[in-house]
Chains A and B, each alone.
Chain A
Amino acid sequence: MTFGALTLLGVFGFAILVNIPIAFGLILAALVYLLVFGAAPMMVSAQQFVGGMDSFTLLAIPLFILAAQLMNSAGLTKRIVHLCMSLVGDIRGGLAVVAVLACMLFGALSGSGVADVIAIGSMLLPAMHKNGYHKGFSSALVGCASSFGTVIPPSIVMIVYGTTSNTSVGKLFMGGVIPGLLLTLSLIGVALYISRKHGWAGVKPSDPAERRRAIIDALPALMVPALIIGGIRFGVFTPTEAAASAILYALVLGVVLYRCLSLRDIIDCVIATAETSAAILVIIGAAGLFAWGLTYEQVPQAIAGIIGDWTNSSHSVLLLLTAVLLVLGTFMESIAIIIIVTPIVMPLLSQYGIDPVHFGVLLTVNLAIGANTPPLGIDLMAACRISGISVMETLRPLSLMLMSMLAVLMLITFVPDIVLFLPNLME
Chain B
Amino acid sequence: MTFSRLATRVSNLSLAVAAGGAAALAALVIYTVFMRWVVGQTPNWAEELPRLVLIWTALLGSITCTHRRSHLNAGLLPLIVRSADVRRTIGKVTDIVLLVMLLMLAKAGWDLTLVTMSMTTTALKMPVGFLYLSVPVGCVGMALMQLQHLLSSGDTP
The chain A residues found within 8 Å of chain B, CB to CB, are 16-24, 27-28, 31, 42-47, 49-50, 53-56, 58-59, 62-63, 66, 236-237, 240-241, 243-245, 247-248, 267, 270-271, 273-275, 277-279, 281-283, 285, 331-333, 375-376, 378
Q: Which residues does chain A contribute within 8 Å of B37, judged by CB atoms?
A: 236
Whether A282 and B33, one on each chain, are in contact in the complex, defined by CB atoms closer than 8 angstroms, is no
Closest to B21 in A: A274
Whether B57 and A331, one on each chain, are in contact in the complex, defined by CB atoms closer than 8 angstroms, is no
Q: Which residues does chain A contribute within 8 Å of B26, judged by CB atoms?
A: 62-63, 66, 244, 247
The complex places the Cα of A254 from the Cα of B98 at a distance, in Å, of 42
Known: A47-B132, A62-B25, A285-B58. A20 touches B30 (CB 8 A): no
Known: A245-B30, A281-B54. A56 touches B105 (CB 8 A): no
User: Which residue of A21, A46, A54, A59 has the most chain B CB atoms within 10 A of its CB atom?
Assistant: A46
The complex places the Cα of A104 from the Cα of B153 at a distance, in Å, of 44
Is the C-beta of B39 less than 8 angstroms from some C-beta in chain A?
no
Among candidates A23, A31, A54, residue contacting B51 with C-beta atoms closer than 8 Å: A54
B104 to chain A, nearest CB (A): 6
**Interface contacts beyond A244-B29, A245-B30: sample of 16 additional A-B pairs, CB < 8 Å, sorted by A:** A16-B76, A23-B62, A28-B101, A31-B101, A31-B105, A46-B105, A50-B55, A54-B55, A56-B47, A62-B54, A63-B26, A66-B22, A237-B33, A244-B32, A279-B61, A282-B71
Whether B54 and A53, one on each chain, are in contact in the complex, defined by CB atoms closer than 8 angstroms, is yes
The chain B residues found within 8 Å of chain A, CB to CB, are 15-16, 18-19, 21-23, 25-26, 29-30, 32-33, 37, 47, 50-51, 54-55, 57-62, 64-65, 68, 70-77, 79-80, 90-91, 94, 97-98, 101-102, 104-105, 107-109, 111-112, 115, 131-132, 134-135, 157
Whether B70 and A333, one on each chain, are in contact in the complex, defined by CB atoms closer than 8 angstroms, is no
7 contacts between A and B (CB under 8 A): A23-B62, A46-B109, A240-B29, A270-B22, A278-B57, A279-B71, A375-B75
Among candidates B15, B29, B59, B107, residue contacting A275 with C-beta atoms closer than 8 Å: B15
Whether A53 and B58, one on each chain, are in contact in the complex, defined by CB atoms closer than 8 angstroms, is yes
Whether A47 and B21, one on each chain, are in contact in the complex, defined by CB atoms closer than 8 angstroms, is no
Q: Which residues does chain B contribute within 8 Å of A273, judged by CB atoms?
A: 19, 22
The complex places the Cα of A62 from the Cα of B55 at a distance, in Å, of 11
Known: A28-B101, A31-B105, A282-B59. A46 touches B72 (CB 8 A): no
Whether B112 and A22, one on each chain, are in contact in the complex, defined by CB atoms closer than 8 angstroms, is no
Q: Which residues does chain A contribute within 8 Å of B16, judged by CB atoms?
A: 271
Closest to A241 in B: B33
Among candidates A62, A244, A282, residue contacting B30 with C-beta atoms closer than 8 Å: A244
Whether A275 and B108, one on each chain, are in contact in the complex, defined by CB atoms closer than 8 angstroms, is no
The complex places the Cα of A43 from the Cα of B94 at a distance, in Å, of 23
The complex places the Cα of A374 from the Cα of B15 at a distance, in Å, of 32
Among candidates A20, A47, A49, residue contacting B94 with C-beta atoms closer than 8 Å: A20
Q: Which 4 A-B pairs have the closest CB atoms?
A: A278-B61, A21-B71, A281-B58, A244-B29
The complex places the Cα of A53 from the Cα of B30 at a distance, in Å, of 21
Among candidates A241, A285, A332, residue contacting B32 with C-beta atoms closer than 8 Å: A241
User: Which residue of B22, B79, B98 has the most chain A CB atoms within 10 A of its CB atom?
Assistant: B22
Whether B111 and A42, one on each chain, are in contact in the complex, defined by CB atoms closer than 8 angstroms, is yes
Whether A241 and B72, one on each chain, are in contact in the complex, defined by CB atoms closer than 8 angstroms, is no
The complex places the Cα of A65 from the Cα of B72 at a distance, in Å, of 16
Whether A59 and B29, one on each chain, are in contact in the complex, defined by CB atoms closer than 8 angstroms, is yes
A10 to chain B, nearest CB (A): 15
Whether A278 and B64, one on each chain, are in contact in the complex, defined by CB atoms closer than 8 angstroms, is yes
A72 to chain B, nearest CB (A): 16
